[in-house]
Amino acid sequence: MTVEDHPLDYANFEGVIPEGQYGGGTVMVWDQGTYELENGEHLNSLIRKGQLKFKLKGEKLKGSWVLVRTRDRNWLLIKHRDRYASDNELTETSPTSVLTRRTLAEIASQEGGNVEKAATGDPRSVTRSKRTARRN
């Protein structure tokens, strides 16, 4: 789902945004890296077409991916089958921050957040405005 742009000033922010404020809850930098568009077109053109193919070069997420518009402003993220594809659930096998190596529960505990909510690791328990839509 499309959300508003986030200022780059917050790219390295980890901590707790008070409940009731926009994005309220525990915030973690789970991955970081760069991307490269695969088909050589401009980003705006690909967004208009509703299909963005790109390579992620993150610390955790790597390889070829595609974002496909499903309807209106909703998008589906699909991992291509490449050497980085896996059946492992990366949020379970690699649950810590790339910046501080803390879990959500540790960040919440140290920063005064809701440890119980953060400790589950279940994206359905995290404030909706801070998580990616997920198909079950």
Q: What is the pLDDT of residues 82-99, one digit of tens each?
A: 999 999 999 999 999 999
User: Model confidence at 23, in pLDDT bands (50, 70, 90)?
Assistant: confident
**Which of 33, 28, 53 has its CA nearest to residue 43?**
53
**C-beta neighbour count of 105 within 10 angstroms:** 19
Q: What is the pTM of this model?
A: 0.76
Which residue has 């359905």 as its token pair? 124
| Mean local confidence (pLDDT), 52-78 | 94
39 has a pLDDT exceeding 90: no
Domain ranges in the chain? Answer: 1-30+97-136, 32-96
- As a whole number of angstroms, the distance between CA 87 and CA 93 comes to 11
User: Model confidence at 126, in pLDDT bands (50, 70, 90)?
Assistant: very low
What is the overall mean pLDDT for the chain? 85
Judge contact between 54 and 36, C-beta under 8 A. yes
**C-beta neighbour count of 45 within 10 angstroms:** 11
**Which of 73, 4, 67, 68 has its CA nearest to residue 35?**
67
Q: What percent of the chain has pLDDT over 70?
A: 86
- As a whole number of angstroms, the distance between CA 131 and CA 118 comes to 12
